[in-house]
Homo-oligomer: A and B are copies of this chain.
Amino acid sequence: MQKRIGILTSGGDCPGLNCAIRAVVSHAKLQHDWEVLGIPYATQGLLERKTTLLNLHGLDLRGIDPLLSMGGTILGSINKGDTLAHASEIIASYRALALDALIAIGGDGSLAILHQLACQGNWNLIAIPKTIDNDVALTERAIGFDTAVNTIVDALNRLTFTAASHDRVMVVEVMGRTAGHLALHAGIAGGADCILIPEIPYSIDGVCHQISELRDRWGRKFAIVVVAEGAKTANDSSIAETQNFASLECGMGQYIANQIKSHNTLTDRLDVRVSILGHIQRGGIPSALDRLSATAFGKAAVDLIAREQYGQMVAWQNGRVVDVPIVDVVARSPLPVAPDNYLVQTARCMGIYVGDG
């Protein structure tokens, strides 16, 4: 049956979004010859009832499809908080656009909002998980995470050489306000000495003890400290919780660096530096894994629509693509690093300080 489907990308961008868009368009056009409407800027495009007809032609450069290796999203995205204020208009747009189904590529925040709109509006919603935080529940993989981990590992490699050359403590701030998966994966793979994440309280004593140990026991005069934005101590709540992030004078990385510098057990004055990886974590050519996940997810999303099996998110479980109810995903997200997480144990066995767990 001929269908007319919409697709949008919501929340912070990441590498692999375009691969998923490409896969949806390819499968929908080649197998089904459906009409595919790209909706720009997520719910903003819905609100304004703007669409772009997506075809397999039109984006190519002498036949080379740039979507496979391009970061970001050709549909644009937004990260705004006032979507629900326009709920009724957005809900009406779905009908006005005469969509048979809507594919939303988003993280836990976006999916929660879209799920609510879909319930109210009786939309035929299909979700594809994306997040560089890896905190969407019920899926082992989400688009963008693998590339972001590789980006940070590459940065850690660069920073390690300069830290070692100058005997510095390098504090590296990475994304992660509520979940520490990114810091944990990248920290282990990149050879960090300390990994501070929101889920496991750190103490500055613990951090400084590790730095001293490296020097006294191993003769290592530099150290790499990976800090998630939302790291916190046992006593205090996170800076992320107590302050508005946007107005933070210095950020979490600088905060930790200041703590290290003023710690009394380190008799020598340490040369402590901060590197905030920031927006580069969202960029880059998608890794092979993100391309594959995105392509398989895009294909599976179209299949769900063909079977008219709505309200589901495509997911990666146990080596294959499955689908799970969006309602269950939203209920359990954002997914934190569990205290008995295997990689936390692994990190500690490698001699990495991962908070006072």
A residues apposed to B, CB below 8 Å: 9, 12-13, 15, 17, 23, 26-27, 30-31, 56-57, 59, 61-66, 68-74, 76-79, 140, 146, 149-151, 153, 155, 157-167, 170, 185-186, 188-191, 218-222, 249, 273-280, 282-284, 287-289, 291-292, 295-296, 299, 302, 317-321, 342-343, 345-346, 349-351
Contact = CB atoms under 8 A, between A and B. Distances in A.
A161 B13 contact: yes
B350 A57 contact: no
Task: Count copies of this chain in the complex.
Answer: 4
A153 B291 contact: yes
Contact of A351 (B26, B158, B189): B26
A153 B69 CA distance: 10
A296 B72 contact: no
Contacts of A65: 191
A292 to B, nearest CB: 5
Given A12-B166, A302-B349, 20 more contacts: A17-B165, A26-B350, A56-B218, A59-B61, A61-B66, A63-B221, A63-B222, A64-B70, A73-B165, A77-B165, A146-B288, A150-B287, A153-B291, A155-B280, A185-B292, A189-B288, A189-B291, A276-B278, A299-B350, A318-B319
A158 B218 CA distance: 30
Contacts of A351: 26, 30
A161 B68 contact: no
A27 B162 CA distance: 26
